[in-house]
Amino acid sequence: MGNALPLFAGMVAFPLLLIKLGTERFGLLSLAWVLVGYFGLFDLGLSRAVTHVVAARANASDMNAASRAAATGLTLMWLLGALAAAVVGGLTAWLARGLLEMPEEIRQEAVASFRVLALSIPFVIHTAGLRGLLEAQSAFRVASTIRVVLGVGTFLGPLMVVLLGGGLIAVMAMLVVVRAIGWMAHKFAVAKFVQISEKDYVFDRRWLRPLLTYGGWMTVTNIVGPLMVHLDRFVIGAVLSVAAISYYIVPYEVVTRVLVISVAISGVLFPLFSSSWELDKKKGAGYMRKGAVYVVIILFPLLAFAAYFAPELMGFWLGETFAQEGTPILRWLTAGTLASAVAQIFFALVQGAGRSDWTGKLHLVEAIPYWLLLIILLSQYGVIGAAIAWFTRSTVDAFALMWLASKLGQEYRRNIRLPLMLLIATTAYLLGSLLMEDVAIRSLFVVVTQFAFTWFAWQRLMSLEDRAHLKRVLYSWKSSGDGK
């Protein structure tokens, strides 16, 4: 919910902001939203490093080390934030004059606006570290609550400004204010919910190397990963046409929204992987297996419906022409999305075990072959080739992360078998939608197989404890609905 609810605020704000600001200024605001999201790259992976170290040390009852690591990481993040703000502020003139095409009359306004926006960088970076502390001690409810307020404010704050007659500079100032308020909320939450040894909460240079080493490889992943995710649309435009991008982007943006579920689950599991790594590998392996299996249980029925009824869904939403072009793309992407969702669990596991270098090196190895494959498949199969390339990369990434997880020890190797076989079977099922045309046959097949999968998941994949817990939750909902 913390990731999804702000999107609804954006849907409300976008048309009104577009009317009030105009096309050019709204485009600059859109760029500002993207930049605020990417400002987190300036933390050099330290927020994830702080979460990992504090979770591991706190679980080992070593609050002295946890407190010193937290103080060292957060101090570094303040310094990095101030440095990044100065750099971005100095580059704004080049950004507005040399890189972006815009009417001359708003160019000076754009320079001033982005200089104001640069003031938010220290808040963005330090907030990421504070949120890492909350997640390290499993304070997910308060962290997600703040994230909802912060995300909604990012869209509704600028809307309030323009409705009161403010311009682009005032809108950027409001974004800074929203980030500052979010930072203060995280500070308050950390003081209330995070156990820190006050006397040991001091900068300790001995923590610099482990934090920066772990964070450095995280930065590699944070840079290369998004490039592999987002560069494909530029390659499509270059190899095929700009129009072809639409046939790929629309199904991609729709189907990959379900990844918000696996992101949330892996975010909860990461500190548990970190805390169990040194003390209880058997428990960590159990978390891994359950996390991967439950991601499949939750997402597979949704993706199966999207894959097997893609022609009807696309036709109803966007018309017959788009359905013909977009259906095979959507079907390949559903299979790739499931692989990507499962991969996130193993990604969190490997990093929770302190091997951020493994994931960084894996993404470096994957990048160039993926881009070459993308170009070749686009040339051979058109825009469908982009979907095949994305599916291939996502699947290879999932299997590679499983292999890396198996290198962590016998307990992990033993618990990988079930998620591996489940991923292979469900991926084959989703790709089977490419072979079925008749809607009646598809409908019957989906109904029968999904009933069978539900029974199998309940009887064979879910533990007795989890079944009992789910029954209690459903009963409590039913009782609430009956007014009891």
Residue type present at position 245 = I
Please check whether residues 39 and 182 belong to one and the same domain: yes
Express as a percent the part of the chain with pLDDT over 90: 24
CA 227 – CA 219 distance, rounded (Å): 12
Is residue 171 within 8 Å of 26, Cβ to Cβ?
A: no
Which one of 396, 416, 435 terminates a domain?
435
Q: Identify whether the C-beta of residue 129 lies closer than 8 Å to the C-beta of residue 52.
A: no
On whether residue 452 sits in a domain, the answer given is no
Query: If phi over 0 gives left and psi between -120 and 50 gives alpha, with beta otherwise, what is residue 438?
Result: beta
Q: Report the amino acid identity of residue 69.
A: A
Largest CA distance in the chain: 70
Considering the domain boundaries, does residue 483 fall inside one?
no
Together in a domain, 306 and 260: yes
Say whether both 299 and 326 belong to one domain. yes
- On whether both 239 and 305 belong to a single domain, the answer is yes
Q: What one-character-per-residue DSSP string does 191-257 give?
A: HHH----GGG-S--GGGHHHHHHHHHHHHHHHHHHHHHHHHHHHHHHHHT-HHHHHHHHHHHHHHGG
Residue finishing a domain among 175, 203, 231: 203
Residues 154 and 266 in one domain: no
262 lies in the same domain as 381: yes
Residue 446 lies in a domain: no
pLDDT at 138 over 90: no
Q: Count Cα atoms within 13 angstroms, Cβ side, for 44.
A: 19
Pick the closest to residue 125 from 253, 214, 215 (CA basis).
215
In a domain, 209, yes or no: no
Of 398, 420, 435, which residue constitutes the final position of a domain?
Answer: 435
CA distance 424 to 115: 50
- Return the ∠ at Cα 77 (arms to 73 and 79), rounded to 5°: 120
Query: Letter for the amino acid at 283?
Result: K
Task: Tell me the pTM.
Answer: 0.75
Whether residue 268 lies inside any domain: the answer is yes
> Same domain, yes or no, for 312 and 358?
yes
Are residues 194 and 242 both part of a single domain?
Answer: no
Residue with tokens 């912060």: 150
Whether 165 and 286 share a structural domain: no
pLDDT (tens digit, 9 = 90+) per residue, 230-251? 677 667 777 776 567 767 777 8
Task: Quote the number of domains for the chain.
Answer: 2
Q: Which residue pairs, CB below 8 angstroms and at least 24 apart, start in 236-240?
A: 236/378, 236/383, 236/386, 239/375, 239/378, 239/379, 240/378, 240/382, 240/383
Contacts of 471 (CB under 8 A, 6+ apart): none
Tokens found for residue 172: 């950027």
Q: 462 in a domain, yes or no?
A: no
pLDDT given at position 390: 92
d(CA 427, CA 406): 21
Lowest mean pLDDT among 131-145, 294-308, 315-329, 435-449: 315-329
Number of alpha carbons in the 13 Å side-chain half-sphere of residue 20: 18
Looking at the fold, whether 219 and 264 belong to one and the same domain comes out as yes
The CA-based dihedral angle spanning residues 275, 276, 277, 280, taken in that order and rounded to the nearest 10 degrees: 150
User: Per the domain annotation, does 463 fall within a domain?
Assistant: no
Q: Work out the average pLDDT over 42-66.
A: 74
Answer whether residue 484 shows pLDDT above 60: no
Question: Can you give the residue range of the structural domain that contains 182?
Answer: 5-203
Evaluate whether residue 314 is within a structural domain: yes
pLDDT, tens digit, 9 for 90 and up, residues 148-172: 888 888 888 888 888 888 888 888 8
Whole-number Å distance between alpha carbons of 436 and 455: 24
At 181-207, the pLDDT tens digits run: 999 999 998 888 777 766 667 777 887
Q: Average pLDDT over the chain, rounded to whole?
A: 83
Q: Are 8 and 257 in contact, with CB atoms under 8 Å apart?
A: no
Confidence band (pLDDT; 50, 70, 90) for 407? very high
- Do 158 and 98 lie in one domain? The reply is yes
Confidence check: pLDDT of 481 > 70? no
- pLDDT at residue 102, as a whole number: 60
Per DSSP, the residues of 421-455 read HHHHHHHHHHHGGGG---HHHHHHHHHHHHHHHHH
Domain check: are 238 and 178 in the same one? no
